[in-house]
Amino acid sequence: MLQIIFIIPVAQLLILAYAVTFEIKNVRFITIDHDRSTHSKKLINKFNGSAFFEYKGNAENYEEAEEMIISDKADQVLVIEPGFGKKLNTERTGSVQVITNAINGNAASLMSAYATSIIADYNREIIIEQNPVNFTGLPIDTKPSFWYNPELDYITYMVPGILVLLVTIIGMFLSGMNLVKEKEIGTIEQINVTPIKKYQFIAGKLIPFWVIANIDLAFGLVIAKLVFNIPIIGSLPLLFFVASIYLVVILSFGLLISTLTNTMQQSMFISWFFLVIFILMSGLFTPIESMPQWAQMIDTINPVAYFIKINRMIMLKGSGFMDFQREFWILIVYAIGMFIFSTMRYRKTA
Amino acid sequence: MNKNDHIIEVRDLVKRFGSFTANDHLNFTVSKGEIFGFLGANGAGKTTAIKILSGLSKPTSGVAIVAGFDVAKYPNKVKKNIGYMSQHFSLYDDMTVKENFRFYGGIFGLSRKSIREKTEYYLEKLKMQNFRNMLLKQIPLGWKQKLAFSVANIHEPAVVFLDEPTGGVDPITRRQFWELIYDSADKGTTVFVTTHYMDEAEYCERVSIMSEGRIEAIGSPGKLKEEFGVNTMDEVFVQIARTPLDPPIGGTDRGNSFKKQVN
């Protein structure tokens, strides 16, 4: 069991950090080149040369192109009109069409943005080519600067969140299954005829898992640093302090579920119900700010969301206590509330 | 306390679950140091009564006083003064023998030293010194039951409740188990035991026999045999404890109660 407790988080971290990404790479792209001029070849070469695009060949017509999209062999089609190169040379204007498979709206807008930027790049080259003397650049020059994650590395953003996930899953399941397991095998009956105080029993259940989850977190942080080279800018003691409070919330939550259920199956089912909602709404994958108002209201009781936010702030921005005071006090109230609630719900009667 | 003091006193104890009466006006007393057999067919209401006496469950009405405390009012004080061993095996399988002693000793607030002494005392008595670091799951059932009994006695309780402690145990181990019971009664602990083995009923100083929620007979085995004019406790039991499968006497209500009991 002990090995499982440590192998699972490592596996989660290694798999999720690489797999859970919204970056689009290797867009499979085809063309319908009605022009076949040097200009059209050049444009296609620009796509081909980009790291994001993987050129899958030329289709003769729309039907053939659509067939490739339907059979999932292509994501994007670049249509070049007949006479495109000639028009560019004579009329200094030409048009292309970009067709994107938009079943996944997020991915589609990214792919479309990539394509647009490549075409814009080509546009600029043409302007310079045609007018090398007068070109002094575009009127507004934008120089983006990406703070806290200069390489726009998705893993940097994801790993602090995934660390929260793994202590949450470990904590919730270990505590949720443990007490109900005693109900199933009958040892709880023996405990219930002893004079042990309810809070002592719940604390006795909570503390070992609290220690294990904290060690798991430390373990995860080491891997984050060694394998993913995630910056840990803020204070580690502060991180563990917040984690300790957060774990009381999660463990009490798990214990509460197991006081309310009679079998491991029920406990598992209810734990999953809450975990899935908490995790999907935690802001790990999608920003909470872009959720609808009602969903944000629900998120005010989502402990996972609070800790992911704090963890990202501490690890990536180096935020101090004052920066996430509000979230911290909410977690404190939550922790005390859940502990008392689970203690009250534990009945020493049969 | 002298021998005549009542360590358990039950007056008009009633426990109802909805319309079903599990314990119907029970009245009895048990003296200090006595071995009291609490008999009855399956579903007669024995376990319900034990749960009330050990503070696990509250009576619907009536009074039960155990070790000087009213179980309904002071369940935790009662729990401090009793030991309990249920028909479900109750020690932790994934802990060693020693750890189980330490765990339960700790719950009752015993000092480390006293836990160590008690552990040694019982292991020696059970001749299980070599088992001390073995996981409970590696130990045969009969031995486990003896350990469970010892653990239930670790804090020297005034009363120890044994709910079918010898179920599934071989005759030799059962005999050894009863030696442990006698030992502990000699030291002044009251033993309140349920069993389905009528030879064990003979070992008790007094027994009560329950049927359908009521105590139908109470007294020493000898007295009961005489009263019923039979030679064995077995015959006494069969005469009293009509099985609930017999045709209902008082109409459909009894049939319904039986269904509830089984469920």
**For residue range B199-211, what is the model confidence (pLDDT) as tens digits?**
899 999 999 999 8
- Asked if B91 and A190 come within 8 Å (Cβ–Cβ), the reply is yes
Q: How far is B76 from chain A (nearest CA, A)?
A: 5
The residue in chain B having the minimum alpha-carbon distance to the alpha carbon of residue A184 is B88
Indicate whether B107 belongs to any domain.
no
Nearest-CA distance A204 → chain B (Å) = 11
Instruction: Reply yes or no on whether the pLDDT at A253 is more than 50.
Output: yes
Rounded Cα–Cα distance for residues B165 and B148 (Å): 9
Across B164-172, average pLDDT: 88
Architecture of domain A25-130: 3-Layer(aba) Sandwich (3.40)
- Which amino acid does the sequence have at B59? P
Residue B206, domain extent: 6-81+157-262
Residue B263 has pLDDT above 80, yes or no: no
Residue A267 has pLDDT above 90, yes or no: yes
Q: Taking residues A229-233, what's their average pLDDT?
A: 88
Please report the pLDDT score of residue B189 as a whole number: 94
Residues belonging to chain A with any Cβ–Cβ distance to chain B shorter than 8 Å: 185-187, 189-196, 348-350
**What does the domain layout of chain A look like in residue ranges?**
25-130, 151-345
Number of C-beta neighbours around residue B252 at 10 A? 8
Whole-angstrom Cα distance, residue B58 to residue B16? 10
Is A191 a residue whose pLDDT tops 80? yes
Tally A–B CB contacts below 8 A: 46
Under an 8 A CB cutoff, do A195 and B92 touch? no
Strands B206-211 and B190-194: unpaired
Residue B29 in domain: yes
| Distant-in-sequence, close-in-space partners of A225: CB < 8 Å, separation ≥ 6 | A232
Question: In this structure, what DSSP letter does residue B138 have?
Answer: G
Question: Do residue B57 and residue A196 have CB atoms under 8 angstroms apart?
Answer: no
Maximum average pLDDT range among A223-227, A328-332, B84-88, B233-237? A328-332
CA A151 to chain centre: 17
Contact yes or no for B55 and A193 at CB 8 A: yes
Q: Which of B82, B88, B92 sits opposite A189 (nearest CB)?
A: B88
Q: In angstroms, rounded to a whole number, what is the distance separating the alpha carbons of residues A240 and A237?
A: 5
CA B88 to chain A, closest CA, distance in angstroms equals 6
pLDDT grade, residue A118 (50/70/90)?
confident
Q: What's the rounded Cα separation, in Å, for the pair A30 and B215?
A: 89
Helix pair B97-107, B112-125: axis angle to 10 deg:
130
| pLDDT number for residue A135 | 62
Q: Which residues of chain A lie closer than 8 angstroms to B57, CB-CB? A: 349-350
Mean pLDDT of A22-44: 86
Q: What is the pLDDT of residues A62-117, one digit of tens each?
A: 899 999 999 988 999 999 988 888 888 888 788 889 999 988 887 888 888 888 88
Distance between CA B207 and CA B227 in Å, rounded? Answer: 13
DSSP A105-141: HHHHHHHHHHHHHHHHHHHHHHHHHH-TTT----SS-
pLDDT confidence of residue B251? 43
Task: Report pTM.
Answer: 0.79
Are B10 and B43 in contact by the 8 Å Cβ rule? The answer is no
**Residues A229, A230, A233, A237, CA torsion sign:** negative
The secondary structure of A276-312 as a DSSP string is HHHHHTTTSSS-GGGS-HHHHHHHTT-HHHHHHHHHH
Give the E-state strand segments of chain B in sequence order. 6-17, 20-31, 35-40, 61-66, 69-70, 82-85, 159-163, 190-194, 206-211, 214-219
Q: Quick one: pLDDT at residue A163?
A: 92
For residue B64, give the nearest of B154, B148, B161 by alpha carbon: B161
Q: Tens digits of per-residue pLDDT, A280-307?
A: 999 888 888 888 899 888 889 999 999 9
Smallest CA–CA distance from B49 into chain A, residue: A350
pLDDT at residue B38 greater than cutoff 70: yes
Which residue among A186, A191, A196 places its CB closest to the CB of B88?
A: A186
Residues of A with Cβ-Cβ distance to B79 under 8 angstroms:
193-195
Do A195 and B80 make contact, defined as CB atoms within 8 angstroms? yes
d(CA A63, CA B207): 93
Chain A residue numbers touching B88 (CB-CB < 8 A): 185-186, 189
Between B195 and A151, name the one with better pLDDT.
Answer: B195
Phi, psi of B93 (to 5 degrees): -65, -30
Q: Counting Cβ atoms within 10 Å, is residue A304 exposed (0-12), middle (13-18) or buried (19+)? A: buried
Q: How many CA atoms lie within 13 A of A100 on its CB side?
A: 18
Counted domains in chain B: 1
Task: Provide the shortest C-alpha distance from residue B79 to chain A (in Å).
Answer: 5
| Paired strand residues for B210 | B40, B215
Interface test with A, best of B78, B79, B145 (most A CBs within 10 A): B79
A1-15, A297-311, B180-194: which has the minimum mean pLDDT? A1-15
Task: Quote the tokens at residue A45.
Answer: 């070469």
- Torsions phi, psi for A300 (to 5 deg): -65, -20
Distance CA A168, CA A277 (A): 13
Q: Is residue B87 part of a domain?
A: no
The answer to whether residue B247 scores a pLDDT higher than 90 is no
Q: How far apart are the first and last CA of chain B?
A: 42
What's the pLDDT score for residue A22? 67
Q: Compute φ and ψ for B250, nearest 5 degrees.
A: -100, 35
Residues of chain B contacting A186 with CB distance shorter than 8 Å: 86, 88-90
Residue B179 has pLDDT above 90, yes or no: yes
Is B149 within the bounds of a domain? Answer: no
The C-alpha angle A83, A87, A88, rounded to 5 degrees, equals 120
User: CATH number, domain at B230?
Assistant: 3.40.50.300
Structure-block tokens of residue B206 = 């007094």
Of A186, A195, A196, the CB nearest to B90: A186
CB A187 to CB B76 under 8 A? no
* B59 — pLDDT class (breaks 50, 70, 90): very high
Q: Are B169 and B145 in contact (CB under 8 A)?
A: yes
**Residues A212-217, mean pLDDT to the nearest whole number:** 92
CB B196 within 8 A of CB B166: no
Report the C-alpha gap between A258 and A23 in whole angstroms: 39
Sort out which chain B residues have CB atoms less than 8 A from A195's CB and list them.
76-77, 79-80, 107-108
Residues belonging to chain B with any Cβ–Cβ distance to chain A shorter than 8 Å: 51, 54-58, 75-77, 79-80, 82, 84-86, 88-93, 104, 107-108, 161
Token pair of B89, please?
């095996």
**Mean pLDDT value across residues A131-150:** 70
Residue of A nearest to B103 (CA): A191
Question: Residue A151's pLDDT band (boundaries 50, 70, 90)?
Answer: low
Cβ separation A193–B82 shorter than 8 A = yes
Contact B90 A189 (CB under 8 A): yes
Buried b (16+ CB within 10 A) or exposed e, A260-280: ebeebeebbebbeebbeebbe
* A223-237, A245-259, A319-333, B1-15: segment of lowest average pLDDT: B1-15
Say if residues A198 and A343 touch (Cβ distance below 8 Å). Answer: yes
The C-alpha of B105 sits at a distance from chain A's nearest C-alpha, in angstroms, of: 10
CA–CA separation, B142 and B191 (whole Å): 19
Q: Give the nearest partner residue to A187 out of B55, B90, B107, using CB atoms.
A: B90
Query: Amino acid identity, residue A3?
Result: Q
Q: Is residue B105 part of a domain?
A: no
Determine whether the interchain pair B79/A189 forms a contact, defined as Cβ–Cβ distance below 8 Å: no
Q: Considering only CB atoms, which chain A residues are within 8 Å of B66?
A: none
Q: In the structure, what pLDDT confidence band is assigned to residue B262 with cuts at 50, 70 and 90?
A: very low
Q: Cα angle at B36 between B30 and B41, to 5 degrees?
A: 120
Q: Categorize the per-residue pLDDT at A251 as very low, low, confident or very high, splitting at 50, 70 and 90.
A: very high
For residue B2, what pLDDT band results from cuts at 50, 70 and 90?
Answer: very low
**pLDDT more than 90, % of chain A:** 42
